[in-house]
Amino acid sequence: MTTTGPGGDAQVMPCDAEGLRRQLVAALGPVAGEDAPLEARMIVEAATGLDRTALRLHGAVAVQTAQLAAAQTMLARRLAREPLSQILGSRGFWTLDIDVTADVLTPRPDTETLIEAMLDFVDADGRGRGYPWRVLDLGTGSGCLPAALLSELPEARAIAIDRSPAAARVARRNLDRIAPGRALVVVSDWASCLAATGCEAGAFDLILSNPPYIPSGEIRTLDPEVARHEPHLALDGGDDGLVAYRVLAPGIARLLRPDGFASIEIGLGQALDVERLLADQGLTTSVRNDLGHIARCVTARHAVSLAA
Ligand SMILES: C[S@@+](CC[C@H](N)C(=O)[O-])C[C@H]1O[C@@H](n2cnc3c(N)ncnc32)[C@H](O)[C@@H]1O
């Protein structure tokens, strides 16, 4: 049982590791819902240093005062609706642990759909996973997309672009750890970068992008974890949510090699509009659903490469 402190916040009581986990599940219920058991376990692991297996085997081990204080601090932050990824400083994406701060969007499982689509293309293509693929990621945030792709394509190299210098620092840290020497992170608005030297026509085999796509007016209706704690530059897609796609579509068409492949994330109900924007640039598109059966990714190729 947690008790309530003088400020009305939940206080964890001294106990063993399993007792701490149970207290946290109860306290986190109102903010984390069905994820409360998972979040509680992750906080116990971070506070005690015990991993999942050790927790199962040694759940009766007493929690030290400093460990209890650490768990208490994490609980208070979480009850203030800070995302657990920002509290712990990382989030799993694909097969990787990605560093996360308040300067970047927390990588979402739905975004893995872009990597699945990209790898299906690579595996069906004669060049295979060992080819020196040239990859571009537009709006890289934490760098999770190029990190995941480079972890699967050992000879690939990537350029990752973000307008936020703070996000670019996080991306650099992740990419230096996961794919050392194979990724360049550039701080730039994609509009100017898409036209810059080094970004000549057909420069990239594989183009990824998960741009901001939430209509501006909807941001304040999102969960506080997102609306208050994630960077608005990563969320705000303008009045209709499609502003970024209008800029990106001609840039992607220009930079994609004739036999290349692009994988672009979309928000709910945006598939037709984004496909139309890409088709207007002479690209052939298809749509891929995420695990929740929601259209999540538009893929694009030059029509000419399909005809060849
Ligand atoms: C939805 S987040 C995606 C982050 C990451 N790729 C992911 O999938 O988790 C969009 C990213 O685009 C960046 N961004 C927004 N507008 C931009 C612009 N005009 N030029 C470059 N990057 C931009 C934001 O800073 C943010 O990091």
pLDDT in tens, 116-134: 999 999 999 999 999 999 9
Query: For the chain, where are the alpha helices, taking DSSP H only?
Result: 17-32, 36-48, 52-57, 65-79, 84-88, 112-124, 144-152, 165-178, 190-193, 224-227, 232-235, 243-255, 271-279, 303-307
Name the residue with the closest Cα to ligand 1, atom 24.
234
Q: Are residues 205 and 253 in the same domain?
A: yes
Answer with the one of 80, 101, 132 that is the final residue of a domain: 80
What is the rounded CA–CA span in Å between residue 129 and residue 159? Answer: 18
Q: What is the mean pLDDT of the chain?
A: 93
Mean pLDDT score, 258-262: 97
Q: Report which of 26, 18, 30, 21 is spatially closest to residue 2, judged by C-alpha positions.
A: 26
Convert 199-221 to b/e letters by CB count within 10 Å (16 or more is b): beeebbbbbbbbbbbbbbeebee
* Tens of pLDDT, residues 67-112: 999 999 999 999 999 999 999 999 999 999 999 999 999 999 999 9
Residue 212 CA: nearest ligand 1 atom is 1
Q: Domain with 58 in it: what CATH number?
A: 1.10.8
Per-residue pLDDT, 4: 62
130 and 272 in a single domain? The answer is yes
Ligand 1 atom with minimal separation from the 114 CA: 8
242 Cα: distance to centroid of ligand 1 (angstroms): 14
Q: What is the side-by-side order of every strand in the sheet holding 295-302?
A: 183-187, 157-162, 134-138, 204-209, 256-265, 295-302, 283-289
Does residue 85 sit within a domain? no
Three-state secondary structure call for residue 287: strand
Quick check: 297 pLDDT over 60? yes
Distance 72 CA to ligand 1 centre (A): 33
Same domain membership, residue 252 and residue 115: yes
Ligand 1 pocket residues where CB is under 6 Å: 105, 107, 111, 139-142, 144-145, 161-164, 167, 189-190, 210-212, 233-234
More confident residue, 3 or 233: 233
Q: Cβ contacts of residue 254 below 8 Å, gap of 6+?
A: 194, 201, 202
Give the pLDDT band of residue 277 (cuts 50, 70, 90): very high
Residue 7 has pLDDT above 70, yes or no: no
What's the gap in Å between 83 CA and the centre of ligand 1? 19
